[in-house]
Amino acid sequence: MEKLKVILVDDEEEFITTLAERLRIRGIDTLTATDGEEALRLLRSDPVQVAVVDVMMPGIGGLDVLKHINRNHPAVRVILLTGRGSTKEGMEGMRLGAFDYLMKPVDIEELIEKMSSATSKD
């Protein structure tokens, strides 16, 4: 089975660097980007199977990153992260083509499960 490769996109740098370290411990190749522009730049040179994207970010917001990925990297599945207490943003993201969404704080096992389901549908 191909090794899972993902990108975490969130302006909360400590959050993504720590989560990335934990995912690498679990054998998942993980890239990080602290804004949408950096993520899109990385995706052009370093393809991944799954992008985990925070909805609320400075600059290009998560939903715009999602639209860009859908348009330019259709093979990449997007899982959105939302800090809102409601499911509103997540549902909006799924309407726009996100594979799924998770609320912060994240349960790492649940995240890995969603990443695996995202890639197994290929």
Partner 1 sequence: MDEEGRSLPYWHAMACWSAITASVSHELKNVIAVIGELTGLQEDLLAAAEQGHGLDTAKLGTISGKTQKQLARAEAIVQRLNRFAHTVDEPDESTDVAQTMELVASLCQRLADLGEVRLETRAHGEPLRTQGSAFVLLQAIYAAIRTTLQGAPRGATITVSCEPDGDGIMLVVEANHAFEEHEECEPHRSVLALLARELGGKAEEHLAAGETRFVLRIPRAV
Give yes or no for residue 88 binding partner 1 (CB under 8 A).
no
Contacts of 4 (CB under 8 A, 6+ apart): 27, 28, 29, 49, 50, 115, 116, 119
Place of tokens 């804004």: 35
Select the residue interacting with partner 1 from 25, 95, 120, 122 (CB under 8 A). 25
Q: Which stretch binds partner 1 (CB under 8 A): 42-50, 64-72, 90-98, 99-107?
A: 99-107
Backbone angles phi, psi at 74, to 5 degrees: -60, -20
88 and 65 in contact (C-beta within 8 Å)?
A: no
Please state, in angstroms and rounded to a whole number, the distance separating the CA atoms of residues 71 and 18: 30
The nearest distance, CB 30 to partner 1, in angstroms, is 13
- Tell me whether residue 10 or residue 69 sits nearer to partner 1 (CB atom): 10
H helix count then E strand count, the chain: 5, 5
Beta bridge partners, 78, equal 51
In this complex, which beta carbon is closest to partner 1, that of residue 68 or of residue 104?
Answer: 104
Q: Is 27 in the site for partner 1 (CB under 8 A)?
A: no
Is residue 91 part of the contact set for partner 1 (CB under 8 A)?
Answer: no
Taking CB under 8 A as the criterion, which residues in 54-83 touch partner 1? 56-59, 83
**Residues within the interface to partner 1 (CB under 8 A):** 12, 14-15, 18-19, 21-22, 25, 56-59, 83-85, 104-106, 108
